[in-house]
A and B are shown apart, each in its own frame.
Chain A
């Protein structure tokens, strides 16, 4: 019995009898990796990956669901303390409330139509809350509850969008949709957590980052001699007439300390109409919180031109149109912050940025206006926790 030399050297191979543990392990691992690669070609590995993504998305969805529950309880608890027992139906209405975009292929008067839609939505939620509370809480708390309902609506939307992407992907067996939802999860989780934190802060009446503009307006009002006001001029919006070394400074801000952005555009429009000598207006300065780019410093202040305002358009365009009609320069001062910082409790850096922004505004007023001239300053943003 003489075998070839090569086979004699392989005498340890299991199928030729004999063989030790090491050989078995190597053989099995080759077999396993072969099976796995065949599975990968058949798309089964992808199915397994999809299952992992799905499990992770579902666990995050449960967290967002928890946030919704927390905010909802916060609202219901506050309403119960005010003596409202059957608030569930109203809260559900506010949570599912939607707005339909105006027709945009025919742009004539689109801004007016958009304004109508936005105001209808705002007034509807406000009247729902007002009817429920019947004046049992202060005006500012009523505004805070309205904002909380808006936050609840936004959280609910985030939840529904992620759930939709997941369920659609699973239903159509489309790993791309599931993967898309999975990849966007960190961003959605950031947004959801920020909304949850915002609700807690607003409930307590603590100023949020977005209150930087109104806070700058407050600092101006409290530091300069007052000639007039503060008086309400448009819904939830006040103005004060101040004297700054002989110049007349008109400061506009939302009416605090309730959570509202007011109607700064409408207020400026009315104020300009009221002024007898419009040629005296030397500048309209808007101060607002602005979203920083990643890497920029929180609370840093920048100057620019235009109307610094984050509204969908109707308020901003009113100021732009007045400025264009009268030939008044538009100056903007921005206080930079991140998305989360804008809707959660104001950071020390932002509060310091507000001081600098006020200094910049004073600088612009000194530069552009002489004695007897008029400058309009608008502190744009949600004025929660900031009075006038």
Chain B
């Protein structure tokens, strides 16, 4: 084996190791990005006609709280009926992670 070939071989193995580390870092960052982006919403319900709507959570509100917002149909003050978080994933992340999600479907039904 000549010196030149040995050097090329060593350089190649070194650079492929560096590449593997870089790819792992990028994949990890992308997976992490998918977990961010949640928003808290609340559902308002009219106690007299049952009309319901959603809006962004307002601090100080709680389930059963009569809010300062009137039903657009009958004008009665609406009541908070549910508060929960919804994930709002950006589209870009979805494109990258959809395949993985499909693959792991049996793990996360």
Q: Indicate if the CB atoms of A22 and B64 lie closer than 8 Å.
A: no
Q: Identify B62's interface contact among A20, A205, A348, A351, CB under 8 A.
A: A205
| Residue numbers in A under 8 Å from B65 (CB-CB) | 257, 387
| Residue numbers in B under 8 Å from A67 (CB-CB) | none
- Please measure, in the bound complex, the distance between the C-alpha atom of A151 and the C-alpha atom of B54, giving whole angstroms: 31
Question: Nearest-CB distance from B3 to chain A (Å)?
Answer: 5
Q: Indicate if the CB atoms of B84 and A350 lie closer than 8 Å.
A: yes
Q: Indicate if the CB atoms of B84 and A386 lie closer than 8 Å.
A: no
Q: Indicate if the CB atoms of B63 and A386 lie closer than 8 Å.
A: yes
Q: Indicate if the CB atoms of B82 and A257 lie closer than 8 Å.
A: no
Q: Indicate if the CB atoms of B2 and A22 lie closer than 8 Å.
A: yes
**A-B pairs with beta carbons under 8 Å apart, 11 shown:** A21-B6, A206-B57, A206-B83, A206-B85, A207-B62, A215-B82, A222-B47, A295-B107, A345-B40, A386-B63, A388-B64
Question: Nearest-CB distance from B96 to chain A (Å)?
Answer: 23
Q: Indicate if the CB atoms of B85 and A386 lie closer than 8 Å.
A: no
- Please measure, in the bound complex, the distance between the C-alpha atom of A20 and the C-alpha atom of B62, giving whole angstroms: 79
Annotate A335-366 by CB proximity to B: 1 below 8 A, 0 otherwise.
Answer: 00000000001111011001000000000000
Q: Which residue of A lies closest to B63 (CB)?
A: A386
Interface: A204 (CB within 8 A): yes
Q: Indicate if the CB atoms of A387 and B63 lie closer than 8 Å.
A: yes
| Residue numbers in A under 8 Å from B109 (CB-CB) | 295-297
Q: Identify B84's interface contact among A22, A348, A388, CB under 8 A.
A: A348
| Residue numbers in B under 8 Å from A205 (CB-CB) | 59-62
Question: Nearest-CB distance from B109 to chain A (Å)?
Answer: 5
**How many contacts A-B (CB < 8 Å)?**
68
| Residue numbers in B under 8 Å from A351 (CB-CB) | 82-84
Give the contact-size bracket for chain B.
Answer: 20 to 34
- Please measure, in the bound complex, the distance between the C-alpha atom of A348 and the C-alpha atom of B83, giving whole angstroms: 8
Annotate B53-75 by CB proximity to A: 1 below 8 A, 0 otherwise.
Answer: 00001011111110000000000
- Please measure, in the bound complex, the distance between the C-alpha atom of A127 and the C-alpha atom of B1, giving whole angstroms: 81
Q: Identify B6's interface contact among A25, A350, A388, CB under 8 A.
A: A25
- Please measure, in the bound complex, the distance between the C-alpha atom of A386 and the C-alpha atom of B63, giving whole angstroms: 5
| Residue numbers in A under 8 Å from B86 (CB-CB) | 348
- Please measure, in the bound complex, the distance between the C-alpha atom of A21 and the C-alpha atom of B57, giving whole angstroms: 70
Interface residues of A (CB under 8 A from B): 20-22, 25, 204-207, 215, 218, 222, 256-257, 295-297, 345-348, 350-351, 354, 385-388
| Residue numbers in B under 8 Å from A22 (CB-CB) | 1-3, 6
Q: Indicate if the CB atoms of B57 and A215 lie closer than 8 Å.
A: no
- Please measure, in the bound complex, the distance between the C-alpha atom of A194 and the C-alpha atom of B68, giving whole angstroms: 33
Task: Please provide the 5 A-B residue pairs with the shortest distance between their CB atoms, ordered closest to farther.
Answer: A387-B64, A257-B62, A351-B84, A386-B63, A345-B85
| Residue numbers in A under 8 Å from B3 (CB-CB) | 20-22
Q: Indicate if the CB atoms of B62 and A387 lie closer than 8 Å.
A: yes
Q: Indicate if the CB atoms of B6 and A215 lie closer than 8 Å.
A: no
Question: Nearest-CB distance from B32 to chain A (Å)?
Answer: 13
| Residue numbers in A under 8 Å from B79 (CB-CB) | 222
- Please measure, in the bound complex, the distance between the C-alpha atom of A25 and the C-alpha atom of B9, giving whole angstroms: 13
| Residue numbers in B under 8 Å from A388 (CB-CB) | 64
Question: Nearest-CB distance from A19 to chain B (Å)?
Answer: 11
| Residue numbers in B under 8 Å from A256 (CB-CB) | 62-64
A206, A218, A345 interface centre (most CB from chain B within 10 Å): A206
Known pairs A297-B109, A386-B64, A387-B64; A207 contacts B83 (CB<8 A): yes
Q: Indicate if the CB atoms of B64 and A222 lie closer than 8 Å.
A: yes
| Residue numbers in A under 8 Å from B82 (CB-CB) | 215, 351, 354
Question: Nearest-CB distance from B108 to chain A (Å)?
Answer: 8
| Residue numbers in A under 8 Å from B62 (CB-CB) | 205, 207, 256-257, 385-387
Question: Nearest-CB distance from B46 to chain A (Å)?
Answer: 12
Q: Indicate if the CB atoms of B6 and A385 lie closer than 8 Å.
A: no
The A-contacting residues of B in range 72-93, CB under 8 angstroms, are 79, 81-86
Q: Which residue of B lies closest to A204 (CB)?
A: B59
Annotate B26-53 by CB proximity to A: 1 below 8 A, 0 otherwise.
Answer: 0000000000001010000001000000
- Please measure, in the bound complex, the distance between the C-alpha atom of A20 and the C-alpha atom of B5, giving whole angstroms: 13
Question: Nearest-CB distance from A213 to chain B (Å)?
Answer: 13
| Residue numbers in A under 8 Å from B47 (CB-CB) | 222
| Residue numbers in B under 8 Å from A20 (CB-CB) | 3
Question: Nearest-CB distance from A298 to chain B (Å)?
Answer: 9
| Residue numbers in A under 8 Å from B2 (CB-CB) | 22
Known pairs A22-B6, A206-B40; A385 contacts B63 (CB<8 A): yes
Q: Identify A218's interface contact among B38, B64, B107, CB under 8 A.
A: B64
| Residue numbers in A under 8 Å from B59 (CB-CB) | 204-205
| Residue numbers in B under 8 Å from A345 (CB-CB) | 38, 40, 84-85
